[in-house]
Structures are given as structure tokens and as C-alpha cells.
Amino acid sequence: MQLEDIGQTTPARTLVVEESDWAQLTRADAMRLTTLFLAARRFEEKILLLDKLNLVHGPAHSSIGQEGGAAGCIAALPIDTLMNGTHRAHHQCVAKAVNALYDESTDPVASGLSLRMRQEIQGLMQEILGLKDGWTGGRGGSMHLRRADLGIMGTNAIVAGGIPIACGHAFAEKQRRSGKLMVTFFGDGAVHQGATHEAMNLAALYGLPMIFFLENNKYAVSMSVEQSTFQTELLTRPQGHGIAAVKVDGMNPYAVWLATRWAREHIEREGKPAFILAEVYRYYHQSSSIPGSAFGYRTRDEENAWKARDPWLFLQRELTDRGILGADELAAIDTAVSDAMDAAAASCVEGAGSSARIRPELWPEAASVDANLNSDMREFEGVRFAESEDYAAQDMEDLSYIEAMSRTMGARMAEDERIYVFGEDVANMGGGTVGATRGLTETYAGRLVNTPITENGFCGLATGAALSGLRPVVELMYSDFFLVAGDQLLNQAGKIRHLFNGTASVPLVLRTRIPGAEGYGSQHSMDPAGVFALFPGWRILAPSNAFDYVGLMNSALRCEDPVLVIEPQELHKRKTPVPKNLDYYIPIGRAKRVQEGEQITLLATLTMVDRCVQVAAEMGVSADIIDLRTLSQRDIDYDTIGASVMKTGRVAIVEQTTRGASLGALIADEIQRRYFDYLDQPVQRVTGRWAPPTVSQALERAALAGEDDIRSRLSTMLQDSGLIPQPGNVHALRA
């Protein structure tokens, strides 16, 4: 037997600084590098001081000791570079903010920091303290920092949560040919997250202009790298994805500067991402000013050995010994930076010592708590809203639901080059797995993007692309797969607008298929509306026919919020008259009365709309049947519902889905709060059973609601009211 090497050629190397390398560092570059480092160090020291005074609400993840990595990286990149990071990002953000405002005329030795730099440092500090004049009004605090004007696209409290989003920013910049780079910072703990590997795979696959920057500070809280992984050589991770990588001493800011120059040149030359691993050390515990040794997971000797290699000591020694900057120049920079930090703290705090407190006038108003959960919908000003009855017969043609899907997407892609479709197989098989992109694959080949089976990764990429100005449409082959991407969809995309106080929007459309009674089993059959409705930020649209699909999808593609569009497979072949001109909209938040009735209100969704019409006709029930169409909680059309309830006094919510996944309980609660005095009996619900549908046809039919369930509920409600339905006559009801 012979075993042959597989020939892995992706380089993974260690950068060693040679004496000749120092010739590359000019005085101007040295001043920039020093300024960024000291801005990060002095800012962190000030935050820890405020934390000791109990003025920082929540965690304050200090990076003291590891600022050399951030400063070295950012100083070596163009000022228009984009970045994001994780929960430990003060140092990266303050260094990026200063660098973004650092131009050829900047001389921190002679002139200190500019007024704008000082203002941004103040805004960052106020943000961390939760104050209204912070970068995003105090919503983000320490872990969620965004200042898009300075290229800071948002840091993230979920370990590795921002890395797929960074891919989206890089994807958007590549499509625009802007030449901008994206750098995503993360720690050693993130290396073990699936999101990291999905992101690296996508970045390599699509050739994205981005740097993965790993700050290996040796511990994820108290877990050492050795406790976290068998393979402790972390460069094997990018190497496995085909990303060239370099390891560097992060306590040497100049070495990091050189590594970043290498990464930048690699991206420009090869058109591929790069990976930097900087070995750094945080001097304190996870989010305090107490050393880690106090908790027993590392020793004082270890901490002291790393402190002896402090980056500030390194810069002072090397820059002065080599005559690049003098000790007086370094002191002048330190004084200028320290003064900016003192001023920033003074803008937030009054009093001193134990009497120090946040200035009361700086707190945001409690009444603003729900502000910026969603767009104010001004993007719909001037559009044409229409319903089917607004069109003459000669202006209509019969289209199936699936035909409406592809034609609508094609019409909108023709007029908006920002629309990209992501998903598994969307550019293959002449229109994807169900034909939703039929006819689009040749015309829009570069904008139909096949993705690997990495839902968390490509949903995160789409989120980042939306944040950077594209209008991504994500196709999930089956609705249940959103659970795989739960963090990126529910915790990231849906929360971003509110979290960053309206300074960011995520115009992302998520299309999900529900197979219904097609034998796909319990892991391919979930109605996602009930789960998405729990997360403010998402709009949820449920078109029950081709006409509504066109109007609602047009609205989804115009909306500045993330929008879930639910597509039942059962409806795919069903035809409906649709205008030949597809340029019309159905308002988000407007239900549709599909049948007038006097005795009972049926609130139906998706496949159950036609079933309600059919069963009511068969039973002779005079039912007011309303297609809800919009299912996000804050958007449900309670005006239309209320008018019907006040007329009929009885209401049932009809969904095909299982009992536990049903949205109806939330709607029923709201109806009873708003219209209790008009109800003759409690709100009723028609749903499937508790168990999810399985592959067995008999059990599947039992799990999902159908005509018999509607019929049974109507009979019970009417009999309880002393009404007897007259089969075959929708208007005949007698007591």
C-alpha cells in the first residue's frame, strides 16, 4: 500500500521581520501607527476607569494588550477600507475611526488630533455608555458599534456572527468594482464556529476582496486554545478553505503592518481573500479590569511575560532606537491622544470619584424605545397600489403561481441592477429546483448566484450585501432550513435597523417554500410565519394566488426591511388572472376581503383561503372571508379584521400549519383585546395537530388542517350560536 500526499498548495506561513524591512516604515507611517495604537490603548484605559466607577452598563470587553494587532492592520490599509468585528472591538473601532479621518495633512505631533477625530471618539464613548448622542443613540453599547461613514459596518455580540456579513460587504464592493477592501476581526473562539468556515468557503469560492483577521489572544473567556481544539495550529483552518494565510507576532505592531501589506497585495494580485493570524494577549479577564490569573485559568508568570512584550514598550524602543521618531514626538502624540480621551469622558460624566455619574440629560428618551424597528415606508411614496378588481378583463392573462414568481423577478431585475438572487441551484437546471428563476439564467447569469449548502453563510452574506446597498433575494429550498440560518436571519438581519437606531437598513427578501401535503416529512414542511412573527424587524408576506404574489413581491423588493415571502408548493400550478403589466404593488399591511358574509369571519392564510371559500359555499355559510396576506405582528390589518368582527360577532383563524407553529394564537389574543365587546363567542382557531407532518400520507393528512377541519369548526361555532347552515346556499342561514 502506498499513501500519496494530496498536494495541498495553499500557503500558510509565519512572518518574520528582518532588519531590511524597517526601511519601509516612513516617519509619516510611524506617526499614523503610533497614533492608532495609542488611541486604542488610552481609550480602553478610560473605559475601564469608567467601568470601575460603575458607569458602564453591561460588559466592557477590554482589549488592553492586544491593540497592536488592530493598529498595525488598520494603519496599513486605505482609509476607505470597511471593517466589522466581534464583541471585543473598542480598539478596532477607535483605531478605524481615527484612521478614516487621517489624511496627508495630519500631524499628531504638531497639531494633535483633529476636531472631527475628537468628536468621533466622544461619540464612540457615549455609545458605549448608552447615551443618546452616541454613534447609534446608545442602542449598541460596548458590543454593537457602527459608524458607516467611517467604514465601521457593525460589530457583533455573537461570536463569529459578523463574519458571514463581512462576506456580503465584500461581495457588494466587488460587484461595484469599487476597489474597497473588507476586513473582519474575530478571536480564536470564533475559529470553531460553523459560521466562520461557511464564510471562509464563500469568500474563497467567490474571490472576495477581504481579510480575515484572527486575534489569537489564547483564551475564549477562560478556555484556552488547547482546551478548545485538538488541532491547535489555527492556520490549518484557512488553508483548508484555500485561503493563503500568515501568522504574525501581534505584540509587534510593525510586523502586523507588514503582514497587512502582504495581504493587501495578495488580494490585488490574486483576486482572492487573505487570512492573518496575530498572536496577541489580553491583559485582563473577559470584561473587567481584573487579571485572568485571579480566576485561576492562567498564571501571573504568564501574564507578566506577555506584559514584558507590551506593544507600547516595543514602539517606544524600536522607533527611537532607529531614529524614526523621537521620545519627545511619541510623548506629544500620547499627550494629544490622552487629552482627547479625557475630553470624551468629561462630556459624559459629572462629578468625580464615587460621586461621578452620567450626565442625566444625555440619556435617551424612554419613549423612543420602539423607534426604528422598521422602515417608515416612505419608500412606497408614489407607487401604484392595485387590486384585481381595478383591471379590465382584457388587461389580464392567466398565470400560474410559479410563472408569476419568475416573471416578477425578471421584471424587477431588468430595472434594478442591485437585485441579486442567492440560493442552492438557482442558476442551474434552467430555473432552479422548482422553476422560480426560469427564463432568467442567461439574461442575469452573473446575478443568479449558486450557493453551497451553507444557509447560515449565504444568509449572512446576503445580510451584509443588503447593508452595503444591494437588494439580495435569498431562496431557501425548503422553509425549515431557516432554522439552520437562525442567527443570521432572526438575530442579525431582523434586529439590525433597531439595534443601530435606523442608521442601517437590510432590504433583504427571503423566499421560502412550504411543500404542504407532498410527503416531505417533518424537517421540510414547517410554516415559518409563527417563528418570524416573534422577531420584530421582519415583514411577513403570504400571497395566496398569482395576482397577490406579483403585487406583494414588488412591495417586498421595494421595502427597506427584511421581508419573508412564503410560497406554498400546493399553489405553484394554480392559475389566476394577472395584469399583463406587472408594475403594481399591494401594500404591506393590507388584508383582502375575498368574500362578503354576515354570520362569521374567517381569517385565512395561503392555501386555506380557497378552502374557506369552498367549504363555506358547500355548507351554505354566510362567511366574511379575509385573506390576511401580511402576517408580521405589527402589520396585521386589524382595521379590516375589526370591521368584519363588529359585523359578524364570530371569528375563526384558519391555518394549515400545525398547532404549535401557528400564528393564530397571537392574532386571537389581539382580537380579543381590541374587539372583545363585539364578540358573541371566543375567537376560534383551525390548525393542524401538535405533531409535525411525517412522510406517511395518512399521518401527514392528519397533521395538517384541511377542509374537514374547517367544516367541523364552522359547524360547532354556528350551532353554539343557534344557527343551522343550509348546504349549497351561501346566504341562507336560519336560527
Residue 327 DSSP symbol: H
- Asked if 52 contacts 289 with a C-beta cutoff of 8 angstroms, the reply is yes
Q: How far is CA 416 from CA 413, 470, 561, 563, 600, in A?
A: 5, 10, 17, 17, 44
Q: How far is CA 530 from CA 49, 519, 540, 642, 689, in A?
A: 45, 22, 10, 21, 15
Let me know how long the chain is. 735
> How far from chain centre, in Å, is Cα 400?
33
Instruction: Answer yes or no: 731 catalytic.
Output: no
Which residues, in sequence order, are CB contacts of 300 under 8 Å at separation 6+? Answer: 291, 293
- Asked if 523 contacts 480 with a C-beta cutoff of 8 angstroms, the reply is yes
Sheet strands (E) in 8-163: 12-14, 82-85, 152-155
Residue 248, H or E segment? strand 244-249
Burial of 677 (0-12, 13-18, 19+ CB in 10 A): exposed
Q: In whole angstroms, what is the distance from residue 50 CA to residue 60 CA? A: 10
Which residues, in sequence order, are CB contacts of 722 under 8 Å at separation 6+? Answer: 735
Burial of 9 (0-12, 13-18, 19+ CB in 10 A): exposed
The sign of the dihedral angle between the CA atoms of 440, 441, 443, 447 is positive
Which residues, in sequence order, are CB contacts of 519 under 8 Å at separation 6+? Answer: 695, 697, 700
Q: In whole angstroms, what is the distance from residue 466 CA to residue 559 CA? A: 12
Q: How many CA atoms lie within 13 A of 187 on its CB side?
A: 28
List 61, 144, 169, 524, catalytic entry: 524
| 620 torsion bin: left (phi>0), alpha (psi -120 to 50), beta (else) | left
> How far from chain centre, in Å, is Cα 413?
23
Backbone angles phi, psi at 710, to 5 degrees: -65, -45
Q: How many CA atoms lie within 13 A of 59 on its CB side?
A: 14
- Asked if 134 contacts 71 with a C-beta cutoff of 8 angstroms, the reply is no
Q: In whole angstroms, what is the distance from residue 92 CA to residue 85 CA? A: 8
Residue type, position 530, single letter: G
DSSP-derived secondary structure for 280-298:
---SS-TTSSS-GGGGTSS
Residue appearing with cell numbers 461619540: 123
Residue 191 DSSP symbol: G
Q: In whole angstroms, what is the distance from residue 630 CA to residue 590 CA? A: 7
Residues with catalytic function: 524
